[in-house]
Structure 1
Amino acid sequence: MIVLGQTGWSILGLGLSVAGAIAASWLIRPWFEELPRKEQRRITAVPLIAYIAAGGLWVVCCLLLAPENRAHAGLLLFLVWGYHSLYGSGVEPSSSAYERLPGRLRRAAPLRVAVNWTGLAGVLLVLQSLREESNSPTVFLALMGTVTLACVGASIKVFIRVHRLSASLDQHAAKMILELRKLRELPDDKRREQKFAAEEAWDTLHRTLVNKIDTGLSVSGVFVLPSKTIRELHHQVHHAIRTAGTDDAAHRKVIARLRILRIACAGRTDTLA
């Protein structure tokens, strides 16, 4: 008989749990793939909803802790900002990327601003705790005011960024659609130059697609489209350019994808932002 200690049983239990989760996901995959796309989107959105709910609950608990220990509560609130900045985009569902784009554009700025203000609250609590124990409270008060004003400016910039990105995405998608239509309608002897124009339009659109919606950092922020989806669109666009629109199915598919990008940006474009 094999005798395991408490650590051994814990490791065994963890291994069995992981194996059970993998087996369960493998067994329910056929059922999941047979569901309508709308139901699939609902199920895959659960981690994002749980992440937002858990974050909100964490913030409430930290605020309840603040009267007893401001420094501790402040550090825990700042942890929310740090975690979201490093990993927050990881909970964004990558499936149904085009259908979920309007939601990402609508949600990215408010969520980023809420997280920034959560981090600010944490910093202010820590500074207030230090201010109470300091012989120069005025210095900490001025620092708190400076940090608050900086957060206000950063919050405004996040919303401006989303509007600018939406305007650019709409403009470049429209340009891509126009160039593909021109390429399809031109006679064979004039298509070579138009192909270069279409490729240039795609390069511009591609540079917009690889941006983050709510931040300029490559390691943090919500994607416009997942990398896999961008690669697929890249191959579809280049196939449409090479065939010069003669492949009707491919041409229609690319145009449909580009129109979805434009529809997602409707109401959020601001060329003067």
Structure 2
Amino acid sequence: MTADLLTTAVVKGVPLVVLSPHLDDAVLSCGALMAHARQHVPVTVVTLFTTGAPPPYTLSARRFLHLSGMRDAEELYAARRAEDREVLTAMDITWRHVGLTEGLFRRKTPRGSRAARGPSRLLPERDHVYPAYRRYLAAGRISPHDSDLLRTLTRTVGSLAAPDPSGGAGPLLLAPLAIGGHADHLLVRTAAETSRRPVVYYGDFPYTRHETVDADFVRRNGLDGEVTWTTGLGAKSAPILGYRTQSRAMFPGGHVPLAPELYLFNEIPS
């Protein structure tokens, strides 16, 4: 007989740490589970990519700002951080913003004479790690320019997953499956995968509605356990809509097409 990591953690009072690439991903993908778990154990959402950058912006970044109803990325991310604090505080969930730059606004590290010139205003795309959304940022791969960032993320996630100094097992990590292939989600997934700690991987909503799980990743990590979570799903719309700068474009008319939350993990002996 086997038991799942989620149920075992909640029953044993193990804190949950949900790794959220962006300011809304945790609630979009795990909102119902977190609301239930918070009644029994401490829940913390650690959001990794929580800042924008000053102009010049790529065409994809300008489109994203337009959909959010703003023209300045730093102003947008200040609003997004405020939304996240408001939503998670209302859910009685602890939050932490790590302060890394979101993929659409992330620039390559300047080298040589280019460092003196600064970012190109005529063609901002050449200075960005992911110059276009679909072709680069959502293409299912991590840019070589993000190698230092991945090391930073790996250290951060490793510290979050460290055992309790008093001898406890430490928190249970929840990390994205990176369904949809967004580079920021892949970076967080990779950092969790290399943490050498037990991890429950969650399906990235709303990408789960139209895209499939990376079968190679599932096989490589032996993710033979699955939970389809539906408890409290109906109450999930309100916190999702609390992310106003994003939800207006994602869910026109305020209709959130809710679906069961997906969690994959290694089964453990009961």
Q: Above 0.5 in TM-score?
A: no
- Considering fraction of residues, name the structure with more helix: 1
- Considering fraction of residues, name the structure with more strand: 2
Q: Which TM bucket (shorter chain)?
A: under 0.3
Bigger RCO of structures 1 and 2 (CA < 8 A, at least 6 apart):
2
Query: How high is the TM-score relative to the length of structure 1?
Result: 0.23
Query: How high is the TM-score relative to the length of structure 2?
Result: 0.23
